[in-house]
Structure 1
Amino acid sequence: MASNTKIPTIAPSARHHEGKVAIITGASRSIGAAIARNLAAKGSNVVIVYLTENSDPLAAKLAEELTSAHGVVAIPVRADFTTAEGVQKIVTEAKGKMPVNTKTGKFQVDILVHSAALFHAMPLEACNLEDFQKVYAINVWGPINLTQAVKPYLPTDRSGRIVNISSVGSKVGLQYLTLYGGSKGALEAMTRTWARELAEQATVNCINPGSTMTDMYRDANPAAKQANALFNPLVPLSPLREWDTEEQRKFGEMYGGRVAYPEEIAGIVGMICSPESAWMTGSLISANGGQWMSS
């Protein structure tokens, strides 16, 4: 971001997550890291879940940042949440290092955010079984597997929050997203099922971001970006503004409009996790500037 650039932001809310524990997958970078910062600013202790050894430095740096800036407990956990061993490691690390709930004296997971995802953008004829298994393992089975492991530790008073990160591509039918969009459609269906099954423990909601200035977007197939850009004239919040970053302006000029900042997506997750959102569950909330409008 340019040193003279200032993006308007909303001041953090009161620390209404003080003492709570949040587990966030894909949290070492991009949207996941922005969500971790949002929740930590509101007092939540954070388990930063990530997959690869290459992300060790990023996760460690983020944990140190959150602890220093907000006085919370933040721990990085490298684990494959598609495996039994991986989810057990996440739960064991959290139980061993996170503070217990002040009311019950027991370990409790108050917030669970499924942000990790494997992006796949290829024409229909290029899809294959191997890619299908990889995409659905991470985007569908991973959230199921981790939610199963965390379920015994959710609150019993409906105060818990589970947020699934889908994609606008599943709703508007973006080209080249046969596997990715399909996996996110499954996640949206799971959201509605879990909202009923876990009603006494947590609300379960979903958001569907559009393109966001992340490494996933930067590295995406140019054809996929161009296909998405066809929607920009109809996206109410896509026009560039004077506070947008130089990178955002470059992409905006190429594709006819700006994409989201990770912090904007994190803010919507933060809204869902707030106590004021207690009467909302099973919902899909628009987080894409109006590319798809919630109805």
Structure 2
Amino acid sequence: MSSNTNPSAQRVHKGKTALITGSARSIGAAIARNLAAKGANICIIYLTEASDKAAKDLAEELSAAHGVKAVPCRADVTTKEGCDLIISTSQSSLPPNPKTGKLQVDILVHSAALFHTAPIEAVTPEDFYKVYTTNVLGPILLTQACKPFLPTDRSGRIVNVSSVGSQVGLQYLTLYGGTKGAIEAMTRTWARELAENCTVNSINPGSTMTDMLQHASDEVKQAIALFYPLTPLSGVREWDSDEMKKFGEKYGGRVAYPEEIAGIVGMICSPESSWMTGSLVSANGGQWMSS
């Protein structure tokens, strides 16, 4: 039987544990669905009380649909206490590694980020510290907390979610684009430091149909739209959703669906990707092409 139809082959992460930040909604939730469908137990990490219900509902959905254990965890990854809570929640609520009987963080996805747009003259020191603390310090602290629990056979996976804005220089992204450039640099460093534990790669999504994009100003959307004629996969097709067709009609091209970004993360996390580390994988429809 081919791997395309063999259920056991499709559940390549059965018994593994995945920690995903920003996973109560949007791209993070799509990543959680992708990995849970392949058998991974999921810690749904999110920040605010407003996401309590979304995280709880997603945990129940994943458990019912895929027979995995999923647990929501509201925690602030920019603090040591928040990262410790993520570890303790995973230890107490997710199945242990079957060989060791202890928590093993097989997959860690840094998806949470604070989106910030402003012309250079409007950037403030307060903005800088807030955005860099969330987008750069947070992944550092959580990776520190997870390091003792990573595999020791290189089977682990860390995926950092960057942004195409860091490559193409999108307007108004002085802070956001800067943080994503930082996380790409950290990806390469961690790929060497953690080589005996896991691969470490990053992806750079372009615009995606999420709350973040929908809440952006029209000025920002128009600036992003300048790239659609140069993005090979931005053409709207008849099978696209009504929402996407409406967006494409107004701005001249379609953006990604969250599940398309999640699929690329899923590819990186697969056993077949074991010989790739330190890479930045294009996830933007060709707006920026990997070289």
Q: Do the structures match in fold with TM over 0.5? A: yes
Distance in 1 of aligned mates of 2:95 and 2:82: 21
The equivalent of 2:158 in structure 1 is: 162
The reply to whether residue 215 of structure 1 matches residue 206 of structure 2 is no
The equivalent of 1:18 in structure 2 is: 14
The reply to whether residue 278 of structure 1 matches residue 279 of structure 2 is no
Correspondent of 1:90 among 86, 95, 112: 86
Distance in 2 of aligned mates of 1:104 and 1:275: 20
Deviations 1:167-188 (A, max 9, x none): 0000000000000000000000
The equivalent of 1:230 in structure 2 is: 226
Q: Is the 8 A contact 2:91 2:102 kept in 1?
A: no
Deviations 1:32-62 (A, max 9, x none): 0000000000000000000000000000000
Distance in 2 of aligned mates of 1:21 and 1:185: 28
- Name stretches of at least 5 consecutive residues in structure 2 with no aligned partner: none
Deviations 1:228-278 (A, max 9, x none): 110100100000001111111111111110000000000000000000000
The offset of 1:104, in angstroms, is: 2.1
Letter paired with 2:25: R
Secondary structure of the structure 2 residue equivalent to 1:132 = helix
Deviations 1:96-115 (A, max 9, x none): 11111112222100000000
The offset of 1:225, in angstroms, is: 1.1
The equivalent of 2:141 in structure 1 is: 145
Which shifted more, 284-293 or 249-258?
249-258
Identity %: 72
Letter paired with 2:77: F
The reply to whether residue 249 of structure 1 matches residue 245 of structure 2 is yes
Correspondent of 2:189 among 172, 186, 193: 193
Letter paired with 2:258: P
Q: Calculate the TM-score normalised by the size of structure 1.
A: 0.96
Distance in 1 of aligned mates of 2:245 and 2:124: 36
Deviations 1:48-98 (A, max 9, x none): 000000000000000000000000000000000100110010000001111
Deviations 1:135-171 (A, max 9, x none): 0001000000000000000000000000000000000
Secondary structure of the structure 2 residue equivalent to 1:207 = strand
Correspondent of 1:47 among 43, 48, 59: 43
Deviations 1:1-46 (A, max 9, x none): xxxxxxxxx9996100000000000000000000000000000000
Secondary structure of the structure 1 residue equivalent to 2:92 = helix
The equivalent of 2:101 in structure 1 is: 105
Distance in 2 of aligned mates of 1:117 and 1:91: 20
Distance in 1 of aligned mates of 2:17 and 2:51: 22
The reply to whether residue 120 of structure 1 matches residue 120 of structure 2 is no
The offset of 1:197, in angstroms, is: 0.1
The equivalent of 2:169 in structure 1 is: 173
Distance in 2 of aligned mates of 1:105 and 1:58: 30
Give the RMSD, CA atoms, in angstroms: 1.1
